[in-house]
Amino acid sequence: MINLPHDDNTCGWYHALTPQIEKPSLKGAQSADYVVLGAGFAGLAMARRLAELEPNARIVLIDAQQVGQGASGRNSGFVIDLPHKFSLEHPDPAHKQRLLSLNRAAIKQLSSLIDKHNIDCQWSAAGKYQGAVGPRGEAYLDHFEHLMTDLGEPFEHVDSNQLAKVLGTDYYSRAIYTPGGYLVQPAALACGLAASLPSNVEVLENSPIQRLTKEQGAWQLHGENGSIKTAKLLLGTSIFTREFGFLKNRLLPVMTFASWTRPLTDYEMHHYSGTLDWGLTPADHAGTTLRMTADRRILIRNTYKHVTKYGNSINDKVRADIQSEHRKVFLARYPQLAHVPFTHTWGGSYAISRNFTNFFGELDDGVYASACDNGVGVAWGTVSGSLLADYVVGATSNALSDIQKVTGMPSLNPPEPFLGLGVKSRIKLAKWQSRSEI
């Protein structure tokens, strides 16, 4: 029994878009030269690159939902060039430089596509703040500064007064600003990338694949109302890769949650007194992510859940409790905006691995995947998806060599119920330890 995506219908990013026209669904018995499963940033990049390399091939991109409704449209809209803190602690400097190069290649690729196709997605070279509330966060900032110095990357110290002028709140004690990151409306970017795919890519939406079989040397994908046969299957399915029997017991399904306000009025912007279009991540990884969007919405993201059945693990009461927690965080930072309501609270599932390793390559004869982005979905999905297409058709490049050197096999997890108990306990402990930074 496959646990299918079952995302809530309350994602603010997606609801902020103009209504999207649904694309056809999978019907009848079909065949394709290449099938890409999952229309997130990885799948979109796979399909685009395959179409460029194989212009005469029929390429089908399938998603269980509409483009932009899944995890790729549910993140906080950071496109980061720097590796996450865990990767920054890797002992090999060359490993870290390869990750930097790959992330920056993704940013360059996305910038080019956004310009070429006039994708309206609030794309902004805004950089990123990493902020501390108190002594615990400041200790993490000091560590981050050492890592950045060792890496030779530029950064700026931002004191509390400077930070308050940007954020419109004096809640934070200080921050480190890094200039290489971008901000984006993620659902708008995903939809724009799908709309601008080459003509030999056919997108099928609302087509959950319920079973995968191999018949006479070809892979058969079975949906509710149709099936499709292919010799080459590329999985951009992230955490759902395990539902098809691959990377079993190696991926951890985690959901993070966000809430945001309606756009602030001119009067409210005056009382807010900060600037537009910035993003702050917590120095303490279990703290709060904060954003002010280009269209005047304040976004709060924290709260982590272990979700064995993805969206089906979360009900309306859990979401209401999470929104209440987010409200306290919001009021602590912006008491002057206490009358401004949240309009949406949503979650998004993603995959992490215990050894913080991404998978890239061939899973079975004719089945390929880039899986387990470890929370760096936009940049990593884009570059790994493009390079997986190169790998499938036999193209070579320095970037392909780099990604093969920095990826590997996610480590095995303990069996259930020990895994679930351990993950939930770890999340609770991290929340308690980081309570002063939330």
Q: Indicate the range of 12-16, 37-41, 88-92, 271-275 predicted with least confidence.
A: 88-92
pLDDT at residue 374 is higher than 90: no
Chain-wide mean pLDDT for the chain? 95
Write out the two tokens for 132: 């501390």
- Could you tell me the domains of the chain? 12-74+188-250+355-414 (3.50.50.60)
Nearest CA-CA partner of 80 in 397, 386, 383:
383
The per-residue b/e assignment along 213-245, b for 16 or more CB within 10 angstroms, e otherwise, is: eeeeeebbbebeeebbbbebbbbbbbbbbbbbe
Please state, in angstroms and rounded to a whole number, the distance separating the CA atoms of residues 238 and 369. 9
Alpha helices in 220-315 (DSSP H): 266-272
Residue 77 banded pLDDT, cuts 50, 70, 90 = very high
| Predicted pLDDT of residue 421 | 83
| Predicted pLDDT of residue 377 | 83
The full DSSP string for 332-343 is HH-GGGTTPPEE
Please state, in angstroms and rounded to a whole number, the distance separating the CA atoms of residues 237 and 351. 10
Residue 186 banded pLDDT, cuts 50, 70, 90 = very high
Section 194-221 average pLDDT: 96
For residues 404 and 360, the answer to whether their CB atoms sit within 8 Å is yes
What are the start-end ranges of the E strands in 162-297?
A: 174-178, 182-183, 201-204, 209-215, 218-223, 226-230, 232-235, 252-261, 278-282, 289-292
Residue 1 banded pLDDT, cuts 50, 70, 90 = low
The full DSSP string for 18-80 is PPPPPPP---EEEE-SEEEE--SHHHHHHHHHHHHH-TTS-EEEE-SS-TTSSGGGSS--EE-
| Per-residue pLDDT reduced to its tens digit, 331-340 | 999 999 999 9
pLDDT at residue 434 is higher than 90: no
Section 265-280 average pLDDT: 97
Global pTM value: 0.96
For residues 261 and 342, the answer to whether their CB atoms sit within 8 Å is yes
In terms of residues, how long is the chain?
Answer: 438
Sign of the torsion formed by the C-alpha atoms of 314, 62, 222 and 380:
negative
pLDDT at residue 317 is higher than 80: yes
| Predicted pLDDT of residue 226 | 98
Beta-strand relationship, 252-261 and 342-352? antiparallel
Beta-strand relationship, 78-79 and 182-183? antiparallel
The full DSSP string for 126-147 is --EEEEESSHHHHHHHHHHHHH
Determine what percent of the chain is predicted with pLDDT higher than 70.
Answer: 100
Give strand pairing partners of 132: 174
pLDDT at residue 435 is higher than 90: no
